[in-house]
């Protein structure tokens, strides 16, 4: 599965190795994306009315909102638990926008998962003090793991109805026509639903409101124009359909923390420094 990604943002909230005995069980609703890398033993898990058995080498990916029941099936079970959020410039819930939740298994998955678990255990003392080390280990695992999106035993069947297909087409259109003045009303009309229903549907599937999504796309485009063009701030504002230069500057500073003029100066200085180092 090829998921388009821009400006990846990863936040690992918790990563720990857990040990449970045979009588352990729990019923919970996941607030975040969660990975279970099964390292030893086996588990029974029930989700969406289906029961699954997972064992050493398997990986479980939960989406936010997934409700499950799990219990230790073997005399004991050991697994690495990671709670995380992952956003991109074009999706707030990039994994939830696609059908990636489920159980992943196979020799290659097991090799990736076991390496992650064993590296974590071998570096546990270091990880207590080094967040950077943890992120490097997680990204090393996740890079290979993401190659298997779409091959899992899914927790839910992907809805390939007219609405979901139209939503994907709409997102592609918005990205390709970010400089057009597209309204939420026009998006709702394209989806053949009311504006109120569309806003709720969009937020549920993408993780943010249509307006915030459009702002994110515009800000991505604005940064490229500031970095790679000689257009003035007023020209960029007009090109991205802001009412005036002030409105654009205000939105840009809110999104990036710096005014467009300051950002352009910083980018130019960095470019000059890089050129000087190369020479």
Q: Higher model confidence: residue 126 or residue 169? A: 169
The predicted model gives 40-60 an average pLDDT of 94
Among all chains, which residue has been given the structure tokens 């099936």?
73
Q: Is the pLDDT of residue 205 over 80?
A: no
The predicted model gives 52-71 an average pLDDT of 95
pLDDT score at 20: 95
Nearest CA to 79 out of 101, 96, 62, 67 is that of 62
Q: Is the pLDDT of residue 278 over 90?
A: no
pLDDT band with cut points at 50, 70 and 90 for residue 201: confident
Q: Which domains does the chain have, with CATH numbers?
A: 9-154 (2.60.120.10), 162-272 (1.10.10.60)
- Geometric angle at alpha carbon 172, from 166 and 176, rounded to 5°: 140
- Per the prediction, the chain carries an average pLDDT of 87
Cα–Cα distance for residue pair 22/72, rounded to 1 Å: 5
Q: Which of 120-129, 143-152, 232-241, 261-270 has the lowest mean pLDDT?
A: 120-129
pLDDT band with cut points at 50, 70 and 90 for residue 98: low
Q: Higher model confidence: residue 208 or residue 237? A: 237
pLDDT band with cut points at 50, 70 and 90 for residue 87: confident
Q: Is the pLDDT of residue 233 over 90?
A: yes
Q: Is the pLDDT of residue 43 over 70?
A: yes
75-79, 88-92, 197-201 — most confident range? 75-79
Cα–Cα distance for residue pair 138/9, rounded to 1 Å: 13
Quick check: 18 and 117 in contact, CB under 8 A? no
pLDDT band with cut points at 50, 70 and 90 for residue 160: very low
Q: Higher model confidence: residue 118 or residue 270? A: 118
For residue 79, give every residue at least 6 positions away whose Cβ sits within 8 Å of its Cβ, in sequence order, or none: 17, 18, 36, 37, 38, 39, 40, 43, 117
For residue 275, give every residue at least 6 positions away whose Cβ sits within 8 Å of its Cβ, in sequence order, or none: none
pLDDT score at 82: 96
* Interval 11-37: pLDDT, tens: 999 999 999 998 899 999 999 999 999
The predicted model gives 155-172 an average pLDDT of 72
The predicted model gives 181-200 an average pLDDT of 89
């Amino acid at each position: 599965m090829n998921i388009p990604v821009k400006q990846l943002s990863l936040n690992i909230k918790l990563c720990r190795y857990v040990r449970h005995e045979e009588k352990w069980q729990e019923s919970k609703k996941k607030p975040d994306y969660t990975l279970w890398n099964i390292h030893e033993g086996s588990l029974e898990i029930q989700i969406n009315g289906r029961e699954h058995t997972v064992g050493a080498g398997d990986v479980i990916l939960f989406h936010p909102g997934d409700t499950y029941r799990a219990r230790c099936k073997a005399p004991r079970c050991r697994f690495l638990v990671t709670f995380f959020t992952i956003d991109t410039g074009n999706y707030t819930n990039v994994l939830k926008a696609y059908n990636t939740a489920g159980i992943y298994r196979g020799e290659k998955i097991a090799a990736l998962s076991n390496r992650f678990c064993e590296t974590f255990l071998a570096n546990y003392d270091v990880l207590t003090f080094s967040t950077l080390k943890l992120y490097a280990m997680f990204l090393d695992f996740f890079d290979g793991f993401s190659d298997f999106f779409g091959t899992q035993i899914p927790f839910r069947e992907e809805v390939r109805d007219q609405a979901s297909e139209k939503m994907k087409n709409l997102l592609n259109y918005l990205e390709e026509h970010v400089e057009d003045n597209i309204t939420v009303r026009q998006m709702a009309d394209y989806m053949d639903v009311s504006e109120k229903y569309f806003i709720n549907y969009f937020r549920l599937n993408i993780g943010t409101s249509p307006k915030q999504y459009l702002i994110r796309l515009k800000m991505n485009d604005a940064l490229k124009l500031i970095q790679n063009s000689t257009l003035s701030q007023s020209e960029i504002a007009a090109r991205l359909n802001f009412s005036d230069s002030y409105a654009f500057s205000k939105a840009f500073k809110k999104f990036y923390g710096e005014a467009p003029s300051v950002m352009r100066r910083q980018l130019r200085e960095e470019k000059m420094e890089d050129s000087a180092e190369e020479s």
